Chain A
Amino acid sequence: MKAIKGKPFFAGIHVHDKKSLACGIAKEIMPAPEEVYISLSQSLGKPAAVCVEKGKKVKEGELIAKADGAISSDVFASIAGEVVDIKPLTGANGGTETYIVIKGDGSGEKAYLPPLTDPDAAAIKQRIKDCGIVGLGGAGFPAAVKVAPRTPVDTLILNGAECEPYLTCDHRLMLENTDEIARGARLIAKALGVDKIIIGIEANKPDCIAAFEKYDDIQPVILKKQYPMGSEKHLIYVTTGRKVGIGKLPADSGVVVQNVATAFAVCEAVEKGKPLYERILTVSGGAVKQPKNLWVKVGTPVKAIVDYCGGESEPPRKVVQGGPMTGLALATYDVYTHKTTSGVLLMTAKEAAAEEPTPCLNCGMCADVCPMHLMPMQTAFYSAAGNFEAAAKLGNTLACIECGACEYTCPAKRPLIQAIRKTKAYMRNKGVPAPAVKPVDQKGSSAPTVPLTEDGKAEKPKDTEKNEKETKNG
């Protein structure tokens, strides 16, 4: 179908995308590391429950931890080998997660589910659940929950915006695996019982838009290059004109949004029976020798990834897991990829901002660029004074999607996102309002530098409210 232009949304920012570092580099399969450390917290919701014991031989793709509860996902062995340890380790966000350590035996034996031919809706849903597929955009909401909405839906939107700077993995995937994504999208649409499939792609990826024009049942929409275009709510507004209310799910507006990488994973799960244990991620930034788009096993140490890309070309100022606008700054390379890790960025001193904050000028630029039309400066002002209730009320903080546009644009370099997270954590601990998803107890503070809330409870790294589950790297 011929691509149509999506309308812009009010506010948002224009970030220098720096995608040219890696967007021309073809996808590459990274050899399996010797050891993988697979976290049990691979998605939003509760961590999975371990179902293997120490010393057990596992095959690639074998179930090692079972979903625990409605919003949780299965975890699979990403290499064939032996489970050598099950232990708690410090995760990327500074909190403690339980990891299953598998030592590879190099045999590469695979244990896939049987492929399905011409499955019906129920079979697809079951397969998505069995393969542990989560939203690969970054927030990791279990896809099985998303394809079983409580309200009727009429449209499936594929999120190919990839509005985060630097990241190019979805770009490469859309270019090299166009057919698989299209087939995966049709499968999801069949599971949902909808006919209309829209794929939203930002205007800076004309080659991807052209690639998707050849399908008759998929409508490509050219999105204006505007951050955060990949935010679920804004993508829905831009492509269909519908607005998702505060605290509502996209399904309430008759829409389901899935990332293109998720569609690809669904296609593989159904056609090959392959569980989700590897994904594509971008290694980029000025401080890495060879930027790459890598096909990486879940649980690969970041150190191995950086070494595979030639190591550091200069000492990085910041190492970021995920995109630069919403990702996590790492303190050490001894962390391991998750199902949701979309990038590893080594940023030079020039690229990564680390200026001292200066006094707030009340210029209102943060409010001008806020895609959710909030008042971040009010949140920052009142939370600095310790009055979190006023901060949440006057800044409408609970509707925040933490896209980072306000802090990006702030001329005084105020730590606005930190203030917003602090306010949210305070309101959550107070139980106002009741969070849609229960906080994950295991995870620790948001980032090592973020102070704990007053009552000593640790903050959570990502807000678990449903309304922001796929704001991440588009």
Chain B
Amino acid sequence: MDNSVVISTPPHVKSKRTTKGIMLDVIIALIPAAVMAIVYFRLNAFVLEITSVLAAVATEFVYFFIANKGFSDKCSHAGEVCKKWWKQFDYTSVVTGLILALILPPTAQWYQVLIGAIFSIAIVKMVFGGTGKNLVNPAATGRIFMFISFSITAYTACAIGPIGNGSIIFTGATNLAGLLPAAGSGANAGSYVSLLDLFLGTGVAGCIGETCTLALIVGYLYLVVRRVIKWWQPLLFIVIASFLSVCLAAIGSKSFEINLFLDFAMSGGLMFAAIFMATDYVTSPKGVYGQIVYYVALGVLTAVLRYLTKIEVVSFVIMIMNLLVPLIDTYIVRKPFGYKKVKKQKEGK
């Protein structure tokens, strides 16, 4: 034995899974949605995706470079910083960039997504300490930032919910008139998107990555099979949000129509957000019980706020719940194995 042996605390064997691997899995799961976005919305979607991802990665690099004083010294130091960056690069910014692009309407401009991506990475993530330290989901917050900043193009008329006689689901950005049967004002009561269309995303208005439900389900199944997320997490969110929406719709129209359940589930950004944004590790609770509380609260808030505001609120809901996560983590602590037995024994005596 020479001096090259490593000494550390046990365990001395570790699983093959790494942060990089998980992030690659998420990217792979996002690919169907990204491809379908390009299929349906053509060049515009492609430009948005590329711009967003590149801007996100570049922002992270520049921030890292400045933070590690890459400019201060000579060339060799800058090279070292670059190497260091590459060593710690874990694809999280790629995921953030891709998600941010996929939750934008096709009318968004490249410079808007550029600014949004820079905001997401620099302000939401890096300022708080980078990977694992951000308080809120960078992509959701970037979307909200863009919603507020460029309110005209991004998300004016993303209305959701039964409008008019209750049998119509209308989701979309208005200025895709040529593409959309449901285009026009929200009062256009005659337009109806069939379930099959919602499932495949054909002719549905909406954000570029959110329209094709099939692609999202493929991504969901991949994540579940790879054990990146737990199968019940997105389902809890989607089922509760959709079911409550049906109930709330029943209050307005005085008729309980359970067949609207699937329309609610597949409309708008709910499914995408539930699968890819709510399940973000960093901003969701750590324990199982905390997670249940979190996903139920997400579902309830989504349904209620959608009903009250008539706009797509999923990003806002995710940001609100993200901010409550530290509270959930502090107050919902698991009981250790064998804890209950102690109580029972005392009662028995």
What is the interface of chain A, defined by CB distance below 8 A to chain B?
9-10, 13, 15-16, 165, 233-234, 237, 242-246, 248, 252-253, 312, 315-320, 324-333, 345, 347, 351-355, 358-364, 367-368, 371-375, 377-378, 394, 396, 399, 402, 404, 407-413, 415, 417-418, 421, 446-450
Question: Do A315 and B11 have beta carbons less than 8 Å apart?
Answer: no
Contact with A along B1-41 (1 / 0, CB 8 A): 11011111111111101110110000000000000000000
Q: Which residue of B lies closest to A359 (CB)?
A: B132
Q: How far is the CB of B87 from chain A (nearest CB, A)?
A: 8
Partner of B339, one of A246, A351, A402: A246
Beyond A319-B5, A411-B18, A411-B19, is A374–B336 a contact (Cβ under 8 Å)? Answer: yes
Q: How far is the CB of A151 from chain B (nearest CB, A)?
A: 11
Bound Cα distance A248, B339 (Å): 10
Beyond A316-B1, A364-B291, A367-B287, is A404–B11 a contact (Cβ under 8 Å)? Answer: yes
Beyond A364-B287, A417-B11, is A317–B132 a contact (Cβ under 8 Å)? Answer: no
Chain A CB count within 10 A is highest, among B11, B133, B340, for: B11
Question: Does B342 sit at the interface, judged by CB under 8 A?
Answer: yes
Partner of A361, one of B6, B132, B287: B132
Question: Do B335 and A373 have beta carbons less than 8 Å apart?
Answer: yes
Chain B binding surface, main DSSP class: loop
Bound Cα distance A408, B11 (Å): 6
Partner of A449, one of B7, B14, B339: B7
Beyond A328-B10, A359-B131, A367-B287, is A408–B15 a contact (Cβ under 8 Å)? Answer: yes
Complex interface residues of chain B between 282 and 305 (CB less than 8 A to chain A): 282-288, 291
Question: Do A367 and B288 have beta carbons less than 8 Å apart?
Answer: yes
Total count of chain B residues near the partner, CB < 8 A = 48
Q: Which residue of A lies closest to B11 (CB)?
A: A404
Question: Do B12 and A353 have beta carbons less than 8 Å apart?
Answer: yes
What is the interface of chain B, defined by CB distance below 8 A to chain A?
1-2, 4-15, 17-19, 21-22, 88, 90, 129-133, 281-288, 291, 329-330, 333-342, 345
Q: How far is the CB of A72 from chain B (nearest CB, A)?
A: 25
Question: Do A371 and B11 have beta carbons less than 8 Å apart?
Answer: no
Question: Do A361 and B281 have beta carbons less than 8 Å apart?
Answer: yes
Residues in A neighbouring B282, C-beta threshold 8 A: 361-362
Q: How far is the CB of A458 from chain B (nearest CB, A)?
A: 15
Bound Cα distance A151, B325 (Å): 44
A237-B337, A353-B14, A361-B282 given; name 14 further pairs at CB < 8 Å.
A242-B341, A245-B342, A245-B345, A318-B6, A318-B7, A331-B7, A333-B1, A358-B131, A363-B22, A364-B281, A372-B336, A394-B333, A404-B10, A407-B11
Q: Which residue of B lies closest to A322 (CB)?
A: B10
Q: Which residue of B lies closest to A325 (CB)?
A: B11
Question: Do B6 and A329 have beta carbons less than 8 Å apart?
Answer: yes
